[in-house]
């Protein structure tokens, strides 16, 4: 189980483990809830009371923290970090290496780009591109990375 906090480093270490024939496991808290037909990749960490909805896809190396809700038909790409209290509507896509900070809400059918960061407590009501930092309610881009 690779737990490195930096998503790029976590991805690199997961790939090194695979190349060396190591078996990657998941760490799923007993109070986490995974709904029917959800797809969970390797090296996924789910903390207490995390929820993965119906037919959601959670790719390898993702960390879903306490009380976060990944709703139905979401696609959470590789090495995403979802902090406590995050709520995503249905059909949301979060790109690789993105960090969604505490209390963020992403409404239905939105895409949050790869290698991006959300500020705490924000609301995403529009698609967000890759490589940005987003803050405020509603979410607005303050930095291109």
Q: Which residues are catalytic?
A: 72
Helix, strand or coil, per DSSP, at residue 18: helix
The sheet carrying 105-106 orders its strands as 33-34, 51-52, 69-70, 87-88, 105-106, 123-124
For residue 86, give both structure tokens. Answer: 């995050």
Beta bridge partners of 58: 40, 76
Ramachandran assignment for 17, one of left (phi > 0), alpha (psi -120 to 50 degrees), beta (any other): alpha
For residue 59, give both structure tokens. Answer: 């790719």
């Amino acid at each position: 189980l690779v737990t490195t906090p930096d998503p790029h480093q976590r991805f690199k270490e997961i790939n090194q483990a695979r190349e060396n024939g190591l078996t990657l496991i998941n760490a799923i808290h007993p109070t986490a809830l995974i709904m029917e037909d959800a797809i969970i990749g390797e090296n996924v960490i789910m903390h207490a009371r995390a929820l993965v909805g119906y037919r959601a896809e959670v790719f390898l190396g993702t960390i879903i923290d306490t009380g976060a809700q990944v709703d139905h038909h979401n696609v959470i790409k590789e090495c995403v970090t979802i902090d406590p209290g995050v709520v995503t509507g249905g059909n949301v896509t979060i790109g690789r290496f993105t960090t969604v900070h505490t209390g963020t809400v992403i409404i239905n059918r939105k895409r949050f780009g790869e290698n991006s960061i959300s500020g705490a407590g924000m609301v995403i009501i529009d698609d967000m591109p890759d490589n940005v930092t987003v803050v405020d309610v509603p979410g607005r881009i303050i930095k291109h990375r």
